[in-house]
Structure 1
Amino acid sequence: MTGVTLNKAVKKYGDIQTIFDVDLDIKDGEFCVFVGPSGCGKSTLLRMIAGLEETTAGEIHIGSRDVTNVEAAERGVAMVFQSYALYPHMTVEDNMGFGLKMNGHPKAEIKEKVAEASRVLKLDDYLKRKPKALSGGQRQRVAIGRAIVRGPEVFLFDEPLSNLDAELRVDMRVEIARLHKEIGATMIYVTHDQVEAMTLADKIVVLRAGRVEQVGAPMELYNDPDNKFVAGFIGSPSMNFVEGEVVGGKVTVPAFGGREITTSVALPGEGSKVIVGLRPQNILVKADEGAATLDLRERLGAVAYDHLICADGAKIIVETRGDEEIAEGSKVTLEFNDEDAFFFDAATEARLR
């Protein structure tokens, strides 16, 4: 197996640029996830690596090879798509081995490789079935098996779980994580679901409007985001943001009734506006007369999400645990520790450190 390197990769469609000077180093055996909102360029970037989209400028290396202008079939990659793209008239076994058959591999070799992929993906009981007799999760495993049989240097996944229901998505997420652990291949995975990104990735690449916002391990991005966009995108529910003002070396937060936050962060000058970020689990809701109003409580068993309207009209979400019942519409007090607050420049949205 081998790694992937992008050097100032650019994609343009005529005068419209969609990928901007992407530099990226994905190490041998890493599970790298491209994540971001719809239209951010993550699938385009994946297709550029696959050779399905032409790279307008810059370079793409797979291992020691410059594959920028190499045909897709010769790049040593295998791609798993959102749609399973299985041949309906073929059995699972034939679907998985079809690529090798078309390339003239001996029948004995094909049978051996299909058997090994089937073992890894637990498909032995389904080899003689056709796709219509399989569930969505089983079909996706067949599509992954077809990729494994090819023995690629790099696996590429383009939102492979989007067509599955919630329970199957969780099951398949576990299957893909187990697969990576077993075969140790370099994998690049595209998703808009940051939960998938957090649970699968060794490395996450957060994209916005064709640009890389931040690259790092999941908890690195969660605990140390570079800007407001990354802070809000990584984490579920997302980070709450409220306005603050620098007063006397502290940050005053109108949303929390003028609460002052003491911090060692390098703040801008007196009277400057900043953005204060707080994770939902780091805020405590207290059932006494305060400046916030409990608008709605979503109960999810052991966890509940409280939707609150703050003193200045700002809306936030708080994660709560326990059985304390607070009536919707009640006035409540919101508490948090100063050290749990993040600060961002109000103009650039860059993290203040």
Structure 2
Amino acid sequence: MTGVTLTNAVKKYGEVQTIFDVNLEIEDGEFFVFVGPSGCGKSTLLRMVAGLEETTAGKIHIGSRDVTDLDAAERGVAMVFQSYALYPHMTVEENMGFGLKMTGHPKAEIKEKVAEASRILQLDQYLKRKPKALSGGQRQRVAIGRAIVRGPEVFLFDEPLSNLDAELRVDMRVEIARLHKEIGATMIYVTHDQVEAMTLADKIVVLRAGRVEQVGKPMELYNDPDNRFVAGFIGSPSMNFVEGEVRGGKVVVSAFGGREITTSVALPQDGAKVIVGLRPQHIRLSADGPATLDLRERLGGVSYDHLICAEGAKLIVETREEDSLEEGDSVGFDFEDRDVFLFDAQSEARLR
């Protein structure tokens, strides 16, 4: 096992800069997830680690080696792509062992490594099949097996579950988590799906427009976000945001009927605008209030209620108990002041 270090990593395409001074320390055996919206630079950053994209400035170390200028084949990494990229005329066994065959490894060694990867991924019964006879999830396992066979120092995953349906995504997420637990290798995983990030990662880096917004353990980011972007990106459904105003050492939210929020954080001067954040599960519904139940999403054991409040403000409320409320009803809501997150209206940094 070995770790990965990025020091002031920069990527430019001509005059266009897409990665800005990224510094990351990924420890031996850590499952590290790059997450962010489309276009944030997460796949570019992964490809820089892999050697598939040139690093314009800064350094990348894998273990103690400076690999910044090394070719991809010399870095000791294996990459699993969104596309399975399997050879259709080869069997599962041949696909998994092809890389070792091309580098001249003995047949006995290839067979042994393929057998071990097949055992880990539960592919024994499929070794003689060709890719067209496999499901999407099985093909992705073969692609992962091809990476395992190479015995890399670091595994790189670039949105490997994007082509799978919802049920298979859950199954493969469990498979990848189990794989990491069994082989204990350093893994870097790219996804735009924060649920994947939260469930798989030892640590998450949240990226926006090529910059690191925050790095930490999943629940650290959820419970203690540094800014509005991280607070809104981590968590499903997303955190609610409404505008508030500082008055007399409290935050007054006119969209909530002038509700006053008492807080211990350092507030700006009276009259300053702040952003109030509330998680959907921290809001309680009641009948006959100033808001309107616009839409109710029933998902079985949980429902997501979409409210329209004063001034057109919108809230999503998570409810887990059956009630008689219907769409179009007037509803009230409440929350504990301690559950509120506050952010600067200009910088969007967390007020602490």
Q: For this structure pair, what is the TM-score category when the shorter chain's length is used for normalisation?
A: over 0.9
Equivalent position of 1:295 in the other structure: 294
Structure 2 counterpart SS, 1:251 = strand
**Separation in 2, partners of 1:254, 1:107:** 73
> Would you say 1:336 and 2:330 are equivalent positions?
no
Deviation at residue 325 of structure 1 after TM alignment: 2.0
Structural mapping, 1:72-151, within 5 Å = 72-151=72-151
RMSD of aligned C-alpha atoms? 0.4
Report the residue type matching 1:269 in the other structure.
Q
Bigger Cα displacement from structure 2, 317-326 vs 174-183: 317-326
Structure 2 counterpart SS, 1:28 = coil
Report the residue type matching 2:339 in the other structure.
D
Deviation at residue 124 of structure 1 after TM alignment: 0.3
Report the residue type matching 2:294 in the other structure.
D
Equivalent position of 2:34 in the other structure: 34
> Would you say 1:171 and 2:171 are equivalent positions?
yes
Equivalent position of 1:309 in the other structure: 308
Report the residue type matching 2:342 in the other structure.
F
Report the residue type matching 1:216 in the other structure.
G
**Separation in 2, partners of 1:47, 1:224:** 30
Taking every aligned residue pair, what percent have the same amino acid on both sides? 85
Deviation at residue 146 of structure 1 after TM alignment: 0.2
Equivalent position of 2:46 in the other structure: 46
Structure 2 counterpart SS, 1:352 = coil
Deviation at residue 127 of structure 1 after TM alignment: 0.2
Structural mapping, 1:1-353, within 5 Å = 1-288=1-288, 290-353=289-352
Report the residue type matching 2:315 in the other structure.
I
Structure 2 counterpart SS, 1:70 = coil
**Separation in 2, partners of 1:34, 1:103:** 31
Report the residue type matching 2:56 in the other structure.
T
**Separation in 2, partners of 1:167, 1:60:** 36
Q: Deviations over 1:320-349 (max 9, x none)?
A: 011112021111111000000000000000
Deviation at residue 6 of structure 1 after TM alignment: 0.2
**Separation in 2, partners of 1:255, 1:193:** 31
**Separation in 2, partners of 1:316, 1:322:** 18
Deviation at residue 291 of structure 1 after TM alignment: 1.5
**Separation in 2, partners of 1:186, 1:218:** 17
Deviation at residue 255 of structure 1 after TM alignment: 1.6
Q: Deviations over 1:85-135 (max 9, x none)?
A: 000000000000000000000000000000000000000000000000000
Q: Deviations over 1:218-257 (max 9, x none)?
A: 0000000000000000000000000001111110111211
Report the residue type matching 1:281 in the other structure.
Q
Report the residue type matching 1:287 in the other structure.
A
Report the residue type matching 2:69 in the other structure.
N
TM-score where L is the length of structure 2: 1.00
Structure 2 counterpart SS, 1:287 = strand
**Separation in 1, partners of 2:222, 2:88:** 43
Bigger Cα displacement from structure 2, 64-73 vs 254-263: 254-263
Q: Deviations over 1:131-176 (max 9, x none)?
A: 0000000000000000000000000000000000000000000000
Q: Deviations over 1:9-32 (max 9, x none)?
A: 000000000000000000000000
Structure 2 counterpart SS, 1:105 = coil
Structure 2 counterpart SS, 1:86 = coil
Unaligned runs of 5+ in 2: none
Structure 1 counterpart SS, 2:266 = coil
Structure 1 counterpart SS, 2:83 = coil
Q: Deviations over 1:29-74 (max 9, x none)?
A: 0000000000000000000000000000000000000000000000
Unaligned runs of 5+ in 1: none
**Separation in 1, partners of 2:311, 2:248:** 21
**Separation in 2, partners of 1:297, 1:318:** 9
Deviation at residue 191 of structure 1 after TM alignment: 0.2
Structure 2 counterpart SS, 1:21 = strand
Report the residue type matching 1:293 in the other structure.
T
Structure 1 counterpart SS, 2:310 = coil
Moved over 2 A (4+): none
Structure 2 counterpart SS, 1:32 = strand
Q: Deviations over 1:158-205 (max 9, x none)?
A: 000000000000000000000000000000000000000000000000
